[in-house]
């Protein structure tokens, strides 16, 4: 990525000295914390790594923002709320209690609460965005949709936990970026904003959509034993961001899948380098 106002620095957000040096060099007006360990399965195997990056790392960034007078936008997840029954159409609001189910979601909930505490205690201008499952180009192939696409293109089995009935709300990455830009620019300090796509789909239906787009048979679907503590359903009530910031998602699930599949077809050289697909 070659842009005059962009500089890539490889580092660890839990490294207080490195973060401090970078803030002194760049003197940012705002920080958007996307940096996180984000794979639930890996968090079950190594929770300490997730806590160090997602919680301790967030605290290091918050301290740096406080020292340099920068605003802080915490990128969080709908998983901090826990899950909902498969039956019904209930959804989480920003005021719903946090009941994380995995080490990953617990580490993200910790960061959310710490960020909001910095607003209350120190007056740091903090906002929190809790987004539903993103998908789109450039997503790392360990995630569900790119993994399904990659394996289907290789005519390999598409593993789904249990019977594929777990439901997620899917949000196209372009819509998510627009929402985050609105929150960064116009969100009220100390507030949380839900960001959802309004596209609830069972994992089995997601796999079928990918296979249809690639004209592959459903016989590639392979059900595997469920993981521990697997959340049943996520859903977000996004009335607040619509009302206060005027944001609504624009990309349908079907259009998003079509463009995402096309991107992975056209960029095989990028994702084929990923081990373990």
How confident is the model over 12-66, as pLDDT tens digits?
999 999 999 999 999 999 999 999 998 888 899 999 999 999 999 999 999 999 9
Q: How many CB atoms lie within 10 A of CB 70?
A: 19
Catalytic residue among 37, 81, 104, 264: 104
Report how far residue 33's alpha carbon sits from residue 238's, in angstroms, rounded to the nearest whole number. 21
Structural tokens at position 80: 């901090």
% of the chain surpassing 90 pLDDT = 91
The pLDDT value given to residue 41: 86
Asked if residue 125 belongs to a domain, the reply is: yes
pLDDT at 38: 87
Tokens 């034993």 belong to 225
Between CA 83 and CA 167 the distance in angstroms is 10
Distance CA 175, CA 118 (A): 28
CA 42, CA 259: separation in Å to the nearest integer?
28
Print the domain residue range for 149: 16-271
What is the per-residue pLDDT for 277?
64
* 7 inside domain: no
Task: Report the mean per-residue pLDDT for the chain.
Answer: 96
Model pTM score: 0.95
Token pair for 110: 């910790």
Whether the per-residue pLDDT at 9 is higher than 70: the answer is yes
- Write the CATH number for 36: 3.40.50.720
Indicate the DSSP class of residue 7: -
Encoded tokens for 59? 């605290």
Q: Both ends of the chain: CA-CA distance in Å?
A: 26
DSSP letter string, 149-201: HHHHHTT--EEEETTS--EEEEEEHHHHHHHHHHHHHHPPTTEEEEE--S-EE
37, 78, 175, 182: the catalytic one is 78
Sign of CA dihedral 233, 73, 113, 59: positive
- Annotated catalytic, 79? yes
Is 78 one of the annotated active-site residues of the chain? yes
Closest CA to 208 of 140, 259, 136, 160: 160
Residues 6+ apart with CB under 8 A from 211: 152, 158, 217, 218, 220, 221
Residue 144 confidence (pLDDT): 96
Give yes or no: 215 in active site. no
- Name the domain count of the chain: 1
- pLDDT for residue 1 is more than 70: no
Which pLDDT value is given to residue 164?
Answer: 97
**Beta-carbon contacts of residue 243 (< 8 Å; ≥ 6 apart):** none
**pLDDT tens digit string along 166-203?**
999 999 999 999 999 999 999 999 999 999 999 999 99
CA 135 to CA 143: how far, in whole Å?
9
**In 3D, which of 32, 139, 91 has the Cα closest to residue 239?**
91
2: in domain = no
68 occurs within a structural domain: yes
- DSSP conformation class of 39: -
pLDDT score of 276: 59
The model's pLDDT over 126-156, given as tens digits with 9 standing for 90+, comes to: 999 999 999 999 999 999 999 999 999 999 9
| Catalytic pick among 79, 83, 169, 182 | 79
For 59-102, the pLDDT digits (tens) are 999 999 999 999 999 999 999 999 999 998 999 999 999 999 99
């Amino acid at each position: 990525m070659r842009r005059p106002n962009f500089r890539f620095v490889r580092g660890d957000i839990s490294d207080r000295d490195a973060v401090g040096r970078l803030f002194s060099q760049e003197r940012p007006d705002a920080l958007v914390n996307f940096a996180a360990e984000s794979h639930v399965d890996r968090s079950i195997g190594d929770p300490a790594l997730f806590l160090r990056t997602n919680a301790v790392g967030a605290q290091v960034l918050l301290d740096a923002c406080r020292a340099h007078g920068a605003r802080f936008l915490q990128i969080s997840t709908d998983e901090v709320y826990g899950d909902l029954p498969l039956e019904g159409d209930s959804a989480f609001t920003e005021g719903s209690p946090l009941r994380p189910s995995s080490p990953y979601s617990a580490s993200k909930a910790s960061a959310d609460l710490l960020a909001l505490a910095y607003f209350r205690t120190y007056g740091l201008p903090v906002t929190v965005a809790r987004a539903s499952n993103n998908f789109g180009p450039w997503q790392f192939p360990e995630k569900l949709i790119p993994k399904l696409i990659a394996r289907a293109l290789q005519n390999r089995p598409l593993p789904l936990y249990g019977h594929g009935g777990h439901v997620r709300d899917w949000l196209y990455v372009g819509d998510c970026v627009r929402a985050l830009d609105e929150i960064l620019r116009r969100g009220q300090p100390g507030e949380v904003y839900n960001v959802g796509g309004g596209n609830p789909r069972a994992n089995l239906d997601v796999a079928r959509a990918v296979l249809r787009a690639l004209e592959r048979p459903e016989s590639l679907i392979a059900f595997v034993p469920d993981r521990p503590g697997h959340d049943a359903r996520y859903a977000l009530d996004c009335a607040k961001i619509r009302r206060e910031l005027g944001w609504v998602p624009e990309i349908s699930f079907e259009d998003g899948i079509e463009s995402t599949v096309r991107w992975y077809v056209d960029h095989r050289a990028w994702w084929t380098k990923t081990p373990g697909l």
